[in-house]
Amino acid sequence: MGEILNKLYSYIVIYGMNVLAAGLIVIVGRWVGHIAADLVSRILLKAGVDKTISSFAKNIIRVSLLIFVFIAALNKLGVQTASLIAVLGAAGIAIGLALQGSLANFAAGILLIFFKPFKVGDFIACGGAEGFVEDVEVFCTSLRTFDNLQIIIPNAKITADNIINFSSFGKRRIDLVFSVSYTDDLSKAKRALKDVVSRNDRVLKSPAPVIAVSELADSSVNLVCRPWVKPDDYWDVYFELIENGKVALEKSGCTIPFPQHDVHIINNKIEG
């Protein structure tokens, strides 16, 4: 009887110490995990990394360390963790295959946030749509169109195609074409367009606007008018110049021609 009690006592001591050690591993591991995750987050924020990336890195580090601590605690209790690791790996593969579309959007979102090809407020064209960037999230990006519609685009679709950022350089060129008749005085037409552009306060002085003959078309002589403006002023100036340019050309005596064809009829009489 005494021998049995001694063995029981030794088992209790051994396993009790293992349980105590496993508990300490969990407590200390969770504490260290929180500290390490917060430290990494603070370092990233001080380095100027986007808040979304720092928050994501913080969560990944914390969860990864908690999984490691959990496995270490089970191993201390005598549980065979090799099979558990294999199960977790298989589950991870299955989840990854099931959520591969979402994971692709997630990875693309991290790239967008990290490399910043555009920012909130920029006017962009991407994924078959264009509008002002309202929000850049991990899985999708939200755009607002000119007619106040919201377009939500998966991030993977954005990174898989060209991204056109109209706001990157702080200047945009307006490309307009005005047509005049072949009989009109081109110097008057160019002078009229220059006056229209120079009177518009939102047209930038540098780079200088370009007004030149671009094409001798079938029914008209085409002049290009290419002023530079700030991105926010683009459409307002665009519409103003079209209207004011037409009025100015008419006042200068120029004619905006309609498409026309000259038909020459040749009458050949055959005498018998």
pLDDT, mean over the chain:
82
Res. 1 pLDDT band, cuts 50 70 90: low
Q: Which residue has the higher pLDDT, 171 or 18?
A: 171
- pLDDT band, residue 90 (cuts 50/70/90): low
Is the pTM here over 0.75, yes or no?
Answer: no
So what's the pLDDT on residue 7? 60
| pLDDT tier for residue 4 given thresholds of 50, 70 and 90 | low
Whether 226 shows a pLDDT value over 80: the answer reads yes
Which pLDDT score, from 0 to 100, does residue 99 have?
A: 47
User: Cis peptide before 207, with omega less than 30 degrees from 0?
Assistant: yes
7 or 251, higher pLDDT: 251
Instruction: List, in order of start, the domains of the chain with CATH numbers.
Output: 2-98 (1.10.287.1260), 117-165 (2.30.30.60), 172-251 (3.30.70.100)
Q: Tens digit of pLDDT for each residue in 45-71?
A: 777 766 656 666 777 778 778 877 777
Does 6 have pLDDT greater than 70? no
